Amino acid sequence: MTRLRLWLGGCLLLLFGLSAALPLLAVSHGFICFGSLTSTALREAPLLLLGGDGQLHGGASAPVLVVGGTLHLSGKVTDVVVGVDADIVVGPRAVLTADVVDLGGHIYRAPGVQVSGNIVGVTSPWSQHASRQAGLLHDAQLAALASLSVFVLALLLSAAFPWRVLVVAATVRRYSWQSLIVAVAGMAGLPLLCLPLLLSLIGLPLALLLALAAMGLWLTGLAGAGLLIGHRLLAACGTADSLLRSTFLGLLVLSLVGLIPGYGLLLLIGLGSLGAGATVLSLIDRSRAVRLSLTSHSWQR
């Protein structure tokens, strides 16, 4: 039975590893960009900008999607531009012949911009300084709301399933590299599993169920990481330890870390994914997971 589980786990890791080649190829060719991007020439390839400041001075002739950042447009834009929780700044030299759609952010349009497409979203008076400040304030508010929500949900989950969170924390401590491998494979494979399902009406409920299951695993993993951090902090201070006290302290620290601009939420995502990998490991090999606890020798080392 153990060999069968190892064989199935190896096949899944191989499948997820191969599926990760597609997003890695997209990143290497510049289709996906993390952070800042500046382009003075015409952008002829599709662009997915994640959480950064994009400058397209030469315009774009391919679709552009920006998530959680700010996009500055100049030149001629002949294909659709979509922003999700992002600010789109349309400069005075921009010419828009396609639609611009912004969900959850603002569109700052300079006076006299030539527009022949549709502009869908919340429009505000154009100002480079005002748009930048508004974008930073908007990002800070969202980061605070996200950190608070994650703190409350993870704490409630810890109170409802304390043993599961305890096992996850011990698994992260004992099998860190294995948890990391599973986490990376899951992060690479889950989007590729969900995206095709989202394109069909029949597959949409299954994709939503997969997304909810992944969110549950991530919250469980984050609670386990918080328990591990809180346990270490209380041990360093010489304070009496308990599961809820350690979890509360660790999640509080992680929530404050989540407020760090730019990298706080990324760190939370990484720690939660590491814990999610540990959750999957503990579910695959339950007999090994049961032997792990806060009082075990492997935890205290």
Amino acid identity at 103 = L
Q: Is 199 exposed, middle or buried (0-12, 13-18, 19+ CB in 10 A)?
A: exposed
Buried (b) or exposed (e) across 102-127, using 16+ Cβ within 10 A?
beebbbbbbeebebebebebeebebe
pTM (global) more than 0.75 = no
pLDDT digits (tens, 9 = 90+) for 59-101: 888 888 888 778 888 888 888 888 887 888 888 888 888 888 8
Measured distance CA(282)–CA(292) in Å, rounded: 10
For the ranges 84-88, 206-210, 290-294, which has the lowest average pLDDT? 290-294
The alpha carbon torsion through 31, 32, 37, 38 (nearest 10 deg) reads 10
pLDDT digits (tens, 9 = 90+) for 230-253: 888 888 887 767 788 888 888 888
Contact in structure between 83 and 103 (CB atoms under 8 Å): yes
pLDDT digits (tens, 9 = 90+) for 14-31: 555 555 555 555 555 567
Measured distance CA(175)–CA(114) in Å, rounded: 58
DSSP letter assigned to residue 280: H
Measured distance CA(214)–CA(81) in Å, rounded: 29
- pLDDT band for position 199 (cuts 50, 70, 90): low
Contact in structure between 172 and 274 (CB atoms under 8 Å): yes
Measured distance CA(33)–CA(66) in Å, rounded: 9
